[in-house]
Amino acid sequence: MAERYFQHTFDNGLTLLAEQMPGMQSAAMTLLLPAGASSDPVDRNGSATVLGELVLRGAGNRDSRQLTDYLDSLGLQRSSSVGVHHTRFGAAAPAAKVMEGLATYADIVRRPHLPEAGFTAARDLALQALEGLEDEPRQKVLLKVREWHLPSPLGRSAMGRKEDLEKLTLAVSKADFKQRYHAQGAILALAGKVDFDATRREVERLFGDWEGGTEAELKLMPPPGNSHFEEQKSEQTHIGIAYSSVPETHENYYTARMAIEVVSGGMSGRLFTEVREKRALCYSVGASYSSLRGIGSIFAYAGTSNERAQATLDCVIAELHRLSDGVTKEELDRAKIGLKASIIMSGESTSGRAGAIAHDYFMRGRIRTLDEISAAVDGVTVDRVNAYLKANKPGPFTIVIVGPKPLDLPRA
Amino acid sequence: MPLQFHQKQLPNGLDIVAEINPDSHSFAAGLFVKTGSRDEDVPVNGVSHFLEHMMFKGSSKYGWEDVNRIFDEMGARYNAFTTQEMTAYYANVLPEFTERSIEHLSHLLRPAIRTADFTNEKKVILEEIAMYLDDPGHRLYEKLMEAHFANHPLSLSVLGSVDSIKQLERDQMADYFKGRYGPGNMVLSVTGRLAFDEVVGLADKYMGSWPHVDAPRKHSEPLYKAQKQSLTDPKLNRQYTMAMTPGPSAQDDRRFAARVLSDVIGDSDGSRFYWAMVDNAIAEEADFGFYPHDGCGSFYLSLTTAPQRTEEALSIAMKELEKVKTDLKDDEVERAKNKIASSIVLSGEVPIGRMRSIGSQWMYNKEYRSLEQDMETLMSVTPASLKQLMTQFTFDPMTIVTLGPGEK
């Protein structure tokens, strides 16, 4: 059987990853740059988001319109976003088109024009998105609970802060580009119908002489507190809950993942069953594991009408506490098959795999094969999960409420 | 390897359509019922969607605790959705669960509708309605459909209203089910790795005894008129504007040209709207799209702006819609086609997407379209066909609805 996974780090620090997926006509690209919200310049939170928009407004020998028209003519399905650690550019299309587009992505991240008019518009769009967030309390609580739970600056929202964005200038953005758009720490992942040797030669040609640079060290500070209420005259009360878990690289990672799958993996999970099916307290409720480098967390959400919000919060917290009493074999079996099936089915999406191998490399410095993940999931036993839960009771909780009235928060 | 299509009808009238992809890792199955809010009488508005919830509450054999548990025991990706014109129930599983998933879908679609479950779930539906009230885009969309389709049944909300849901009775739901949820008004769509004869045998085993239903959809001509509504909600910060105007239907061959035209005018990136409004930050979002319905269709536009810039953005949008009729360029049509061509290739690689696509296509038109056919039709779209389309659908009359904080 042909080799499936490939990895190569160039001298300047750029890492190229590839997964060859038999039977696929398409390819997908994920390009991660070490410019996430957490490394935004001091008092300029939102800078990475503005920059991520600005670099697309003309690069290499194409102006803004020529650049967009060219990528469109290739038919690339494109995306870009800013997360905690990275700015991410994605593209998917029939494989040859993605390979053709690589040279233009080299222009975008190495030779953007960063025009004044483009800067003003990009900053304005970022400010508008922030305004819009005030109209969507559900989105707001998900961002706020990260801010109040994670150590600063990891909890920062990529959308930025109004006062910071208003102070942002093109000069600052240009300096920020120089500081954070570089090869060191950048990851380029391709998945699908990919010829690795040819790709490596092309990437060497396009990125081989890219400046290395250095990644900023983050100084972590404690979050502002462990509970927060934000008054909003919303129809529902939106509840965000967080607590700490183990990082992805920890030996108990798969054990902790399985435990949270029991709480909220499928629709037979405990939260859905207890809060929605049995008590009909809300429509939307769930919890999931969230991964940052070196930090794992559990985030839960429930949205419900204001008069039932207290009962909903109490019920979700009770379910999380009940976890320390352990899980059953049937629950664990369902969690395992669910995760294994989703791993196998992820092999049907080139975009999904390109994102996954880039994530793996950033977290672990290597790609996990699908077989490795399946074996690790198989290795989790009821005894292991229950011993882990006994020693690591869920909590303490960070709780953020967005709604018309505050709620009574549980102690500890 | 090209995907292979098979089709068969069981003696009770259940249509089965299949697209086999031997390279897939999974099997996907969905039951598509040709019923939705447009088929409801006003007093029971919301019953299709509420019934979708009740399907997960158990059959004569299973209780609510069992339904989700059994899906989860297969590691299935499963869910259901309701639109104005269809409700669909589906599961995506590893091929070893082919029989179990079909058997379980068959239980799902024979709900017991127990009174206690009905009463409990009503609260969840009311919470779902409340949740969407915190989503200005959704609120606006419902108002737009209501205004644009006026007396036509497409004006009805998928979720129903607080009043219609509160007043709905269990037996009204059971009657609605009995009249509409059976072979004759339903398609089983399967895709991915599968053996067609095996699936037909399983469908016959688990669904072969279902009674045929005769549930023709009542069609009436929508009466469109130019209109504008302004809605205010002082707690909002931004202004949300949507507009709708007639377009080709889901049966109309011009729907392919309509999709290309929509991308030229208002794709989220690189379109005329993008350059006229988003590139310069006049609007945060400015999209133009196409919704084909059963027997009629709509183009729509959607703008998100600061309240004080709404009129400016709307006037730019209207100018662009006029301008494109006379100055359409060959290369912009080519680019839009290339983007859609990529999405066709990508969609063919994922069984769950194809299951939805061939299931709804069959439901609307009793027609299968392969990816190759879709690609050929797309490539045959020309600037001339778009120009002709705009002489037949002139973006007039138009319904405009806007929602924002009003004077502050």
| A267, A336, A342, best to mutate vs chain B, most B CBs in 10 Å | A267
Residue A335's SS3 state is: helix
Segment A226-276, tens digit of pLDDT: 999 999 999 999 999 999 999 999 999 999 999 999 999 889 999 999 999
Would you call A138 exposed, middle or buried from its count of C-beta atoms within 10 A (0-12, 13-18, 19+)? middle
User: What is the nearest CA distance from A211 to chain B, expressed in angstroms?
Assistant: 30
Minimum CA–CA partner of A278 in chain B: B120
Note the pLDDT of residue A347.
87
Q: Which of B355, B317, B315, B322 is nearest to B188 (CA)?
A: B355
| B96, B125, B134, B165, best to mutate vs chain A, most A CBs in 10 Å | B134
Return all residues near B63 (Cβ < 8 A) that are at least 6 apart.
B57
Whole-angstrom distance, CA of residue B269 vs CA of residue A125: 14
Q: Which of B378, B102, B146, B352 is nearest to B242 (CA)?
A: B146
Contacts of A304 in chain B (CB under 8 A): 127, 130
DSSP state of B353: H
Q: Are B284 and A137 inside 8 Å of each other by CB?
A: no
The alpha-helical segments, DSSP class H, found in A55-115 are: 64-73, 95-110
Instruction: Kindly state the average pLDDT of the residues B69-77.
Output: 97
Picking from B78, B238, B270, the nearest residue to A135 by CB comes out as B238
| Residue count of chain A | 412
Whole-angstrom distance, CA of residue B215 vs CA of residue B178: 10
CA-based end-to-end distance of chain B: 61
Contacts of B72 in chain A (CB under 8 A): 265-269, 334, 337-338
Contact at 8 Å (CB) between B203 and B16? Answer: yes
A362-368, long-range: CB within 8 Å, 24+ apart, which pairs? Answer: A362/A32, A362/A85, A362/A86, A362/A187, A362/A293, A363/A248, A363/A249, A363/A291, A363/A293, A364/A248, A364/A249, A366/A7, A367/A5, A367/A7, A367/A17, A367/A19
Q: Are A121 and B73 inside 8 Å of each other by CB?
A: no
Name the phi and psi angles at A365, rounded to 5: 80, 10
> What is the complex's ipTM, to 2 decimals?
0.95
Contact at 8 Å (CB) between A250 and A150? Answer: no
Picking from A73, A78, A97, the nearest residue to B334 by CB comes out as A73
Assigned token pair, B112: 């017991």
Which residues face A289 on adjacent strands? A298
Residue in this structure with the two tokens 């080299």, named with its chain if needed: A106
How many CB atoms neighbour CB A146 within 10 A? 24
Minimum CA–CA partner of B276 in chain A: A65
Q: Which of B221, B240, B222 is nearest to B230 (CA)?
A: B240
User: Per the omega criterion (within 30 degrees of 0), is the bond before A41 cis?
Assistant: no
Q: Which of A51, A326, A5, A351 is nearest to A171 (CA)?
A: A51
Q: Are A69 and B76 inside 8 Å of each other by CB?
A: no
Assigned token pair, A80: 């870009």
Contact at 8 Å (CB) between A288 and A298? Answer: yes
User: What is the nearest CA distance from B266 to chain A, expressed in angstroms?
Assistant: 13
Q: Are A132 and B238 inside 8 Å of each other by CB?
A: yes
Contact at 8 Å (CB) between B340 and B378? Answer: yes
Residue in this structure with the two tokens 């599968």, named with its chain if needed: B194
pTM given for the model: 0.96
DSSP state of A366: S
Tally of helices (H runs) and strands (E runs) in chain B: 15, 11
Return all residues near A240 (Cβ < 8 A) that are at least 6 apart.
A141, A142, A144, A145, A299, A300, A301, A399, A400, A401, A402
Picking from B26, B74, B284, the nearest residue to A345 by CB comes out as B26
The alpha-helical segments, DSSP class H, found in A55-154 are: 64-73, 95-110, 116-133, 137-149
HSE-up of B194 (CA within 13 Å, CB side)? Answer: 33
Q: Are A77 and B339 inside 8 Å of each other by CB?
A: yes
Q: State whether residue B92 sits within 8 Å of chain A by CB.
A: yes
Q: State whether residue B166 sits within 8 Å of chain A by CB.
A: no
Contacts of B24 in chain A (CB under 8 A): 348
Amino acid at B225: K
Per-residue pLDDT of chain A (412 residues; tens, 9 = 90+): 569 999 999 999 999 999 999 889 999 999 999 999 999 998 999 999 999 999 999 999 999 999 999 999 999 999 999 999 999 999 999 999 999 999 999 999 999 999 999 999 999 999 999 999 999 999 999 999 999 999 999 999 999 999 999 999 999 999 999 999 999 999 999 999 999 999 999 999 999 999 999 888 899 999 988 999 999 999 999 999 999 999 999 999 999 999 999 999 889 999 999 999 999 999 999 999 999 999 999 999 999 999 999 999 999 999 999 999 999 999 999 999 999 999 889 889 999 999 999 999 999 999 999 899 999 999 999 999 999 999 999 999 999 999 999 999 987 5
pLDDT band for B408, please (50, 70, 90 cuts). low
Q: How far, CA to CA in Å, does B244 sit from each of B149, B202, B396?
A: 10, 44, 9
Picking from B270, B278, B348, the nearest residue to A72 by CB comes out as B270
Residue in this structure with the two tokens 């994670």, named with its chain if needed: A150
Segment B82-104, tens digit of pLDDT: 999 999 999 999 999 999 999 99
Q: Which of A277, A291, A287, A377 is nearest to A323 (CA)?
A: A287
Return all residues near A163 (Cβ < 8 A) that are at least 6 apart.
none
Contact at 8 Å (CB) between B73 and A334? Answer: yes
Share of chain B above pLDDT 70, in %: 100
Q: CA dihedral defined by B302, B304, B305, B307, rounded to 10 degrees?
A: 90
DSSP state of B212: P
Q: Are B331 and A128 inside 8 Å of each other by CB?
A: no
Note the pLDDT of residue B114.
98
Full DSSP string of B256-284: HHHHHHHHHHH-TTTSHHIIIIITTTS-S
Q: Which of B106, B79, B64, B77 is nearest to A337 (CA)?
A: B77
Q: How far, CA to CA in Å, does A236 sit from each of A222, A313, B128, B179, B360?
A: 30, 13, 10, 36, 34
Picking from A120, A277, A303, the nearest residue to B64 by CB comes out as A277
Contacts of A135 in chain B (CB under 8 A): 136, 236-238
